[in-house]
Amino acid sequence: MSDKELFLKYGCNPHQTSARVCSKGGSFPIEVVNGAPGYINLLDAVNSWQLVRELNKALGSPAATSFKHVSPAGAAIAEPLSDELKKAYFVDKTELSPLATAYARARGADRMSSFGDWIALSDTVDVSTAKLINREVSDGVIAPEFEPKALEILRKKKGGKYAVLRIDAAYEPPIMETREVFGIVFEQTRNNGVVSREKLGEIVTENKDLPDSAIRDMIIAQITLKYTQSNSVCFAFGGQVVGIGAGQQSRIHCTRLAAQKTATWWLRQHPATLNLNFGNGVKRPDMNNAVDQFLRDDLTPAEEKVWRTLFNQVPTRLSKNDKDEWTRELKDIVLASDGFFPFRDNIDFASQFGVKHVIQPGGSIADKGIIEVCNEYDMVMLLSGLRLFHH
């Protein structure tokens, strides 16, 4: 490796045998500290780093994200965890630093999707965070720096093959970015749109009560969308993402997916879920799968047979009524969209999952009708004027 390029084993797939990454000008801003990151790892790394860097700058808090296939599965800042969330995130017996708390939240948003994730952290990685990463199934991590003992822990992960990247926190890319697809070069000004408290936009609904917690969560959701494959919708609460609907052709499908993931995140905190009695030796990934299957109603007989073997005492499933009652307790959720809402069905559906605050760019002929339906539900909606498509 030179100071301007990094040769890779292969590209997106093993048959794409020639691959490298390189800097457009100046030294390469990423140092491979351990392991051998792949092409997709590096795409995740550069996108995820931008996300946590912007969260940290906007909110002044340690930030973390869990990335999979160039979209976040979760993102968060270092807000304290409730006892229920600690148990749902499997960290109830773990001492967590602020940075580790941010990662526990980011990983906890959608633990199924975060299996084998790429991690980005805004601050120097400490021992607490390294220990948390070490026990999860993950491909690699990028951060501006690592404490020596933290680096020692991470270098032993995956038999010494865990990818650890150090990025120059002061690095700024050129204003123009290019990509080549099918021999055709695309060029554009990079997305330097700023998401901040001052630039959230105008409240257009009758309800104008926007607490600081909602402002924080709007900033988190919008910055997350900035690095999520479009179309995308993000639900946020408590200083973290709780559901992302990414890469869907229809916006209502984005909203449904984000809402359903939010419901799963919430149901993971149901007392019946928290008190699942797993058998000895059941690994954490299997626990994650078992929780997901506990909340499903459509297990095949073969899945059911395997699932039952994971418990000391096979649990009684929650009924649809149980789950609906619990979901109705959701409240004060923030919904952010990377593009405007063309139809009211998005708001109608979101209203069933505790959404109280909405932020979207606006600019549609449907804006007036969307404002009216938000008024029907006594929601607060802001029009940011900032579209956040990412491809």
Are 74 and 84 spatial neighbours (Cβ–Cβ below 8 Å)?
no
pLDDT of res. 276: 95
| pLDDT at site 35 | 95
* Residue 160 pLDDT greater than 90, yes or no: yes
82-122 pLDDT, tens digit each: 999 999 999 999 999 999 999 999 999 999 999 999 999 99
pLDDT at res. 25: 72
Q: What is the mean pLDDT of the chain?
A: 95
- Per-residue pLDDT reduced to its tens digit, 289-336: 999 999 998 899 999 999 999 999 999 999 999 999 999 999 999 999
CA atoms within 13 A on the CB side of 96: 24
Give catalytic status of residue 231 as yes or no: yes
| Lookup: tokens for 206 | 């009758």
| Structure tokens that stand for 238 in this block | 């408590």
Query: What gap in Å lies between CA 42 and CA 247, rounded to an integer?
Result: 20
Amino acid at 104: A
Point out the catalytic residue in the list 231, 288, 289, 346. 231
Partners of 383 in the β-ladder: 202, 360
Dump pLDDT digits (tens) for 119-146: 999 999 999 999 999 999 999 999 999 9
Q: What is the pLDDT of residue 1?
A: 42
Q: What is the mean pLDDT of residues 368-384?
A: 97
Asked about 69 being catalytic, the answer comes back as yes
pLDDT digits (tens, 9 = 90+) for 30-71: 999 999 999 999 999 999 999 999 999 999 999 999 999 999
pLDDT the model gives residue 22: 86
- Identified catalytic residue from 93, 320, 368, 391: 391
Indicate which residue of 41, 47, 68, 346 is catalytic.
68
Which letter does DSSP use for residue 146 in this model? B
* Run of H or E including 74: strand 71-77
CA distance from start to end of the chain = 29
Q: Is the pLDDT of residue 221 over 80?
A: yes
Domains of the chain by range and CATH? 5-172 (3.40.140.20), 193-267+327-383 (3.40.140.20), 274-317 (1.10.287.440)
pLDDT of residue 27 exceeding 90: no
Q: In 3D, which of 222, 271, 232, 310 has the Cα closest to residue 84?
A: 271
Choice among 20-34, 50-64, 149-163, 168-182 with the minimum mean pLDDT: 20-34
Taking 50 as the threshold, does the pLDDT of residue 158 lie above it? Answer: yes
Of 57, 69, 87, 253, which residue is the catalytic one? 69
DSSP assignment of 245-290 equals EES-SSHHHHHHHHHHHHHHHHHTTSHHHHT--BPTT--HHHHHHH
The pLDDT of residue 11 is above 70: yes
pLDDT for 24 equals: 78
The predicted pLDDT at position 4 comes to 76
> What pLDDT was estimated at residue 318?
94
Measured distance CA(160)–CA(55) in Å, rounded: 31
The upper half-sphere exposure of residue 146, i.e. CA atoms within 13 Å in the direction of its Cβ, equals 24
Whether 26 has a pLDDT exceeding 90, the answer reads: no
Predicted local confidence at residue 340, as pLDDT: 96
Helix, coil or strand: residue 159: helix
3-state secondary structure the chain: CCCCEEEECCCCCCCCCCEEEECCCCCCCEEEEECCCCHHHHHHHHHHHHHHHHHHHHHCCCEEEEEECCEEEEEEECCCCCHHHHHHCCCCCCCCCHHHHHHHHHHHCCCCCCCCEEEEECCCECHHHHHHHHCCCEEEEEECCECHHHHHHHHCHHHHCCEEEEECCCCCCCCEEEEEECCEEEEEECCCCCCCHHHCCEECCCCCCCCHHHHHHHHHHHHHHHCCCCCEEEEEECCEEEEEEECCCCHHHHHHHHHHHHHHHHHCCCHHHHCCCECCCCCHHHHHHHHHHHCCCCCCHHHHHHHHCCECCCCCCCCHHHHHHHHCCCCCEEEEECCCCCCCHHHHHHHHHCEEEEEECCCCCCHHHHHHHHHHCCCEEEECCCCCCCC
Q: What is the pLDDT of residue 259?
A: 97
Q: What is the pTM of this model?
A: 0.95
pLDDT, residue 390, reads 95
